[in-house]
Amino acid sequence: MEKRIMLSTPTMHGEEMEYVKEAFDKNWIAPLGFNCDNFEMEMDQYLNKGIDDGFKTLALCSGTAALHLATKLSGVKEGDIVLCSDMTFAATVNPVSYEGGKQVYIDSERDTWNMDPRALEKAFEKYPEAKVVVLAHLYGTPSKMDEILEICKKHNAILIEDAAEALSAKYQGRECGTFGQYNAISFNGNKIITTSGGGMLITNIGGAREQAFKLATQAREKAPWYQHEHIGYNYRMSNVVAGIGRGQLLHLDEHRALKEKIYNRYKEGFKELPVTLNPYLENSVPNFWLTCITINEGINKNPMDLMNKLNELNIETRPIWKPMHMQPVFKDCDFIYVEDKPVNEDIFARGLCLPSDIKMTEDEQDYVINAIKEFFI
């Protein structure tokens, strides 16, 4: 195929440019402004549907910035132990290092590929002083939130929910990003909606949004001159890219439905193959951001060989996230698991992310499916 089939790329609709044009027409190009304000308000309305917890958002330059502010607001300091999802992107856990904390990584369970509550409880037994948990919803699949929340409550721990990949995913009818005290979503270019780059902090803790706003704007005090009593950051979102986000938000549920359709077509196409799609719980609704497969145990096929074959056919794929405890930068961090062997290492060794771009045609997806079938012949 001449056209490369991509993993996940932005999908624009036209409304984005209307909001961006308004920013240009009003010469409101700098960070902050009416698009930021309205994007936050519109996202607040989306996230708080059906709940009374009053979560508020803060538009920022990246999801990583949101996670960093969440880490600071959670009180992580030099030497503090923080219990973290192990199978995730490094941005989930890097902010712990920014604040001088020490990550302890928690293995996944097989039902969702997310943090295993049993391993989390085991980690608290070993590190009872831990007071912060950082949880990621992998590939838009909600975690076992009831069990995770119960454990955090039992140990009086703050939960930071990394919902960067999970915007519009739901657990028992509730939006991901509204379970922890401090949470983050991402609008990176490959996410389910995008602002080209950007993210949001989400919190329902009284005064936390105001504190985060101050930190995100260089911690400037209220004074007629530039007064600074704390270290701050340049983390606020541009009024221009917030306009893109407002236009994208109008199509979020549409994007999620298209992602689900892609997942289900793969599921049907692979029903005779020795592969398994990324799983999810019956009481959850993923956003199906990326469809992934694992090659079944006992099958003498390597996912890296499959990736290379598909690349030759102009099909983009990616390995599953390499677990953090396997990363050289975190080699000194502890890793907690409860199975006979780590679940994350097994998923990583057998897994691959497939093209999940909502602009992919059915013919293009069939091309991917048939190429994978040929690999197993």
Together in a domain, 172 and 222: yes
Average pLDDT over residues 38-63: 94
Say which CATH number the domain at 61 has.
3.40.640.10
Q: Token pair of 69, please?
A: 């502010």
Average pLDDT over residues 122-136: 98
pLDDT of 105: 98
Domain boundary among 215, 234, 249: 249
Label residue 2 by pLDDT band (50, 70, 90).
confident
- Domain contains 147: yes
Together in a domain, 278 and 232: no
pLDDT of 30: 83
Together in a domain, 200 and 217: yes
Together in a domain, 240 and 318: no
- Domain contains 344: yes
- Domain contains 229: yes
- Domain contains 10: no
Q: Which domain holds residue 312?
A: 252-376
Domain boundary among 222, 249, 276: 249
Together in a domain, 84 and 172: yes
Q: Residue 79: left (phi > 0), alpha (psi -120 to 50), or beta?
A: left
Report the distance separating Cα 319 and Cα 351, nearest Å: 6
The per-residue pLDDT for range 50-59, each reduced to its tens digit, is: 887 799 999 9
Write the CB contacts of 94 (distance below 8 Å, at least 6 apart in sequence).
Answer: 64, 67
Say which CATH number the domain at 336 has.
3.90.1150.10
- Domain contains 314: yes
Give me the number of domains the chain comprises: 2
**Max Cα-Cα span within the chain:** 73
Average pLDDT over residues 325-354: 98
Report the distance separating Cα 5 and Cα 72, nearest Å: 40
Is 90 exceeded by the pLDDT of residue 31?
Answer: no
Together in a domain, 240 and 266: no
The per-residue pLDDT for range 306-320, each reduced to its tens digit, is: 999 999 999 999 999
- Domain contains 5: no
Is 90 exceeded by the pLDDT of residue 150?
Answer: yes
pLDDT of 168: 98
Cross-strand bridge partners of residue 188: 196
Q: In what order do the strands lie in the sheet with 132-136?
A: 56-60, 199-203, 182-186, 158-162, 132-136, 81-85, 102-106, 334-336
Together in a domain, 296 and 273: yes
Domain boundary among 200, 225, 249: 249
Average pLDDT over residues 328-348: 97
The per-residue pLDDT for range 204-221, each reduced to its tens digit, is: 999 999 999 999 999 999
pLDDT of 89: 98
pLDDT of 52: 79
Is 90 exceeded by the pLDDT of residue 14?
Answer: yes
Together in a domain, 189 and 56: yes
pLDDT of 32: 86
- Domain contains 342: yes
Together in a domain, 155 and 269: no
pLDDT of 1: 79
Label residue 179 by pLDDT band (50, 70, 90).
very high
| Run of H or E including 93 | none
pLDDT, averaged across the chain: 97
Label residue 377 by pLDDT band (50, 70, 90).
confident
Together in a domain, 316 and 278: yes
Report the distance separating Cα 275 and Cα 140, nearest Å: 20
- Domain contains 160: yes
Query: For the stretch 114-133, what's the b/e string if a residue is b when 16 or more beta carbons lie within 10 angstroms of its beta carbon?
Result: bbbbbbbbbbbeebeebbbb
Together in a domain, 320 and 298: yes
Together in a domain, 238 and 267: no
